[in-house]
Chain A
Amino acid sequence: NAGVTQTPKFQVLKTGQSMTLQCAQDMNHNSMYWYRQDPGMGLRLIYYSASEGTTDKGEVPNGYNVSRLNKREFSLRLESAAPSQTSVYFCASSTRRAPVGPHQPQHFGDGTRLSIL
């Protein structure tokens, strides 16, 4: 049972390069999330998707774009990487059916450690 799978696990980019972080879940979850985690900053929501075909901005969306390709997959794109985007990126999913109902337990992937030089 894979759960939430993120690729790649590690990546080093140069400033200005672009890249897409991939996330797939096999739990038939409706909601998917992208977070970044920086030392001392906790988890900050970048974008989320309440269902296939919908995406919404979180707390820190600038410099990122997302695509909910289908129910399983939710990708995060950095169009022009900046050193400030060096971080650990987590993808998560849950059964929550927005907008009604409370948030449900989120299942996290192992993370992508991204360094931008």
Chain B
Amino acid sequence: QQPVQSPQAVILREGEDAVINCSSSKALYSVHWYRQKHGEAPVFLMILLKGGEQKGHEKISASFNEKKQQSSLYLTASQLSYSGTYFCGTESYRDGNNRKLIWGLGTSLAVNP
């Protein structure tokens, strides 16, 4: 089952912060975050493997709460280059050795000057 991302869209001014959430109805093995700029391919940001784990990339970080079956992506002091669509992909324990990466529908982020 597809993870649910929220919000669907967000508009920021340069320097503002944002949080994007990714929730699943299944127990999660891992959560992956990607960013896709318009007309381009998705680009990998980070993977979170353990409950409570936090990782960072530039001023972008993420947390993974196993109990809540969700992950949050934090964009701090946003830059114009952060604009794009952010996708989470989730792997579920329930799928065993046949785990596939299932993608959310994405969150559109626009950063304005």
Size of chain B's interface in residues, with CB distance under 8 A? 26
Select one of A40, A43, A103, A111 contacting B30, CB under 8 A.
Answer: A103
Docked CA distance A45–B100 (Å) = 9
Q: Which residues of A come within 8 Å of B, CB atoms? A: 40-45, 48, 58-59, 90, 98-100, 102-111
A103-B101 contact given A90-B41, A90-B42, A109-B41, CB 8 Å threshold? yes
Select one of A44, A98, A105 contacting B103, CB under 8 A.
Answer: A44
Q: Is the CB of A42 within 8 A of B44?
A: no
Give the residues in chain B near A41, CB-CB below 8 Å.
Answer: 105
How many residue pairs link A and B with beta carbons under 8 A? The number is 57
Q: Is the CB of B40 within 8 A of A110?
A: yes
Give the residues in chain B near A105, CB-CB below 8 Å.
Answer: 32, 44, 47
Select one of B32, B41, B104 contacting A111, CB under 8 A.
Answer: B41
Docked CA distance A99–B100 (Å) = 10
Other A-B pairs, 6, CB within 8 Å; known A102-B30, A103-B91, A108-B42: A40-B105, A42-B2, A102-B91, A106-B32, A106-B34, A110-B40
In the assembled complex, B49 has its CB within 8 A of some CB on chain A: yes
Give the residues in chain B near A58, CB-CB below 8 Å.
Answer: 100
Task: Determine the residue in chain A with the shortest Cβ distance to B45.
Answer: A105
Q: How far is the CB of B1 from chain A (nearest CB, A)?
A: 11
Give the residues in chain B near A43, CB-CB below 8 Å.
Answer: 42, 87, 89, 103
